[in-house]
């Protein structure tokens, strides 16, 4: 069904592969596997978004500038991005269970390091380590779903994984703000480390081990004719078509959601810390609902023959107009800042549908590399946009602009980049899959 949704060429490919697909998991095991992976991804999203809520406290304690704050938030994504290149190979070779458990061990250490950090640089390195530790929390399940779930189940679980992530971001807003006066931010990281250990236990108990199907694969982790490289992915016209929107639109959405939305509400709209936490709660609730709805409606869209290109062409302009209005009016939006930011993030969420399409554009034994390659694009975009906005804000103030004008200029720059990436996607040739080599039978 997803094959229809992604396009006719991909549909032909999936039909060709269907005779070779390994048996899917039973329904009860599907639920257990999803819940185990979802809890780990919930925690990784909470760790990702917590900086937006903690930023006022950290700014006061460490005397951070906008550039420092952007670098601190982006450091998580830098650590995340650094692992994506080897991660795809490891997922295809060793399987999701073994890989995610190894990485989550690093996440526990990162949480403890964050709680003990006594300087900006110590916290910066802890954030990089945190990004490394949770970097498999989405790619591992998506790789597993590609092999163990049928395509219709993948449609829902891929969107609902993102819904779970939005729930984690939701938990990083008002609940964290309520706990701050009681515990402070350091004990929160100790608690998160304990929860990551719980997630590891769940994954160890319910997630199956990777099953290889040939002696060659057992010995090398690769299929015959597969050299373990990313060559097929890099040669895919479809992959390069979605790179710009992954970088600027998807990356920009997450960069705003996880950091600059909070700063916009405090620095431009003039909201208090509590009001900002409430605004972030509204934004993340909106994202939770949007991903839940995507999970519900995408099978019906697939049945109707509505393609990703149509959805992106129709939905992304709303996000671009919203972003442009915020950049133009700035503080004039006032009490509507949270509503405007929610509209931007929700209308941008359509780009999340590209990620599972990339995974399905290649056979299952390449899924880990295809998903990790595209995820690297998104993560690099998040890091560059988060830090870039901070650099732009500081540069504007150096030129004598007000803080508000600097934020407006930075957001205007993001709007231009996102607009150009959307135009590139719309005007590019309609390649649905990579070269014929990418279409070899799956397992």
| Tens-digit pLDDT profile for residues 289-318 | 998 888 888 777 777 777 878 888 889 999
Q: Which among 45, 70, 51, 17 is positioned nearest to 392, based on CA atoms?
A: 70
Calpha distance 69→62 (Å, rounded): 10
Counting Cα atoms < 13 Å in the Cβ hemisphere of 113 gives: 19
Does 436 have pLDDT greater than 50?
no
Q: Work out the pLDDT band at 404, boundaries 50, 70, 90.
A: very high
Higher-scoring residue by pLDDT: 345, 280: 345
Q: Work out the pLDDT band at 14, boundaries 50, 70, 90.
A: very low
Best-predicted range by mean pLDDT among 7-11, 91-95, 437-441?
Answer: 91-95
Averaged over 375-392, what is the pLDDT?
89
> Which range is least confidently modeled, 66-70, 183-187, 261-265, 301-305?
301-305
Residue 121 tokens, joined: 């640089």
Higher-scoring residue by pLDDT: 443, 323: 323
- What residues have CB less than 8 Å from 413, skipping those under 6 apart? 388, 392
Q: Domains of the chain (ranges plus CATH)?
A: 27-209+231-439 (1.20.1250.20)
- Which pLDDT does position 225 carry in this prediction? 52
Does 431 have pLDDT greater than 50?
yes
Does 108 have pLDDT greater than 60?
yes
- Which pLDDT does position 385 carry in this prediction? 93
- Which pLDDT does position 311 carry in this prediction? 87
- Which pLDDT does position 17 carry in this prediction? 34
How would you class 395 by CB atoms within 10 Å of its CB: exposed for 0-12, middle for 13-18, buried for 19 or more?
middle
Q: Work out the pLDDT band at 440, boundaries 50, 70, 90.
A: very low
Does 230 have pLDDT greater than 90?
no
Does 424 have pLDDT greater than 90?
yes
Higher-scoring residue by pLDDT: 268, 53: 268
Calpha distance 183→204 (Å, rounded): 31
Residue 176 tokens, joined: 């964290």
Does 19 have pLDDT greater than 50?
no
Averaged over 105-111, what is the pLDDT?
96
SS3 236: coil
Calpha distance 383→79 (Å, rounded): 10
Q: Work out the pLDDT band at 370, boundaries 50, 70, 90.
A: confident
- Which pLDDT does position 218 carry in this prediction? 43
What mean pLDDT, rounded, does the chain reach? 83
Best-predicted range by mean pLDDT among 8-12, 216-220, 355-359, 397-401?
Answer: 397-401
Does 374 have pLDDT greater than 90?
yes
Calpha distance 3→305 (Å, rounded): 10
Does 362 have pLDDT greater than 60?
yes
Does 124 have pLDDT greater than 80?
yes
- Which pLDDT does position 8 carry in this prediction? 38
Q: Work out the pLDDT band at 129, boundaries 50, 70, 90.
A: very high
Q: Show the CA angle centred on residue 192, arms to residues 189 and 193, nearest 5°.
A: 90
Calpha distance 244→250 (Å, rounded): 9
Does 5 have pLDDT greater than 70?
no
Higher-scoring residue by pLDDT: 102, 359: 102
Residue 393 tokens, joined: 């804000």
Higher-scoring residue by pLDDT: 170, 198: 198
Averaged over 280-291, what is the pLDDT?
89
């Amino acid at each position: 069904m997803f094959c229809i949704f992604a396009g006719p060429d991909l549909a032909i490919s999936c039909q060709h592969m269907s005779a070779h697909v390994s048996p899917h998991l039973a329904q009860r095991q599907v639920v257990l596997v999803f819940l185990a992976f979802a809890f780990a991804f919930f925690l990784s999203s909470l760790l990702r978004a917590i900086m937006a809520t903690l930023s006022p406290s950290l700014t006061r304690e460490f005397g951070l500038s906008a550039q420092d704050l952007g670098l601190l938030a982006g450091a998580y994504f830098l650590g995340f991005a650094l692992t994506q290149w080897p991660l795809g190979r490891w997922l295809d070779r060793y399987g999701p269970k073994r890989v995610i458990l190894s990485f989550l061990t690093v996440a526990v250490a990162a949480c403890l390091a964050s709680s003990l950090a006594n300087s900006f640089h110590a916290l910066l390195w802890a954030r990089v380590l945190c990004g490394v530790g949770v970097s498999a929390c989405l790619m591992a399940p998506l790789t597993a779903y590609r092999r163990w779930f049928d395509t219709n189940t993948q449609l829902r679980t891929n969107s609902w994984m993102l819904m779970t992530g939005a729930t984690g971001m939701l938990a990083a807003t008002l609940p964290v703000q309520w706990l701050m006066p009681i515990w402070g931010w350091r004990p929160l990281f100790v608690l998160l480390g304990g929860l990551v250990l719980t997630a590891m236990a769940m994954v160890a108990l319910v997630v199956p081990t990777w099953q290889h199907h040939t002696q060659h694969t057992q010995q090398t982790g690769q299929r015959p004719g597969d050299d373990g490289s990313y060559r097929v992915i890099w040669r895919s016209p479809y992959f390069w078509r979605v790179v710009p929107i992954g970088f600027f639109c998807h990356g920009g959405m997450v960069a705003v959601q996880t950091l600059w939305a909070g700063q916009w509400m405090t620095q431009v709209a003039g909201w208090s810390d509590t009001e900002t936490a409430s605004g972030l709660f509204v934004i993340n609730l909106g994202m939770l609902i949007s991903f839940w709805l995507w999970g519900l409606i995408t099978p019906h869209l697939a049945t109707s023959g509505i393609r990703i290109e149509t959805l992106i062409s129709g939905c992304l302009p709303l996000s671009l107009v919203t972003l442009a209005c915020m950049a133009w009016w700035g503080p004039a939006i006032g009490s509507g800042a949270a509503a405007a930011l929610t509209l931007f993030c929700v209308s941008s969420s359509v780009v999340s549908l590209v990620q599972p399409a990339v995974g399905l554009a290649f056979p299952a034994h390449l899924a880990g590399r295809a998903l990790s390659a595209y995820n690297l694009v998104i993560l690099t975009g998040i890091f560059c946009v988060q830090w870039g906005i901070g650099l732009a804000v500081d540069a504007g103030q150096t030129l004598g602009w007000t803080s508000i004008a600097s934020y407006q200029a930075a957001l205007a720059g993001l709007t231009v980049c996102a607009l150009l990436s959307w135009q590139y996607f719309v005007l590019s040739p309609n390649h649905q899959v990579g070269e014929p080599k990418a279409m070899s039978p799956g397992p």
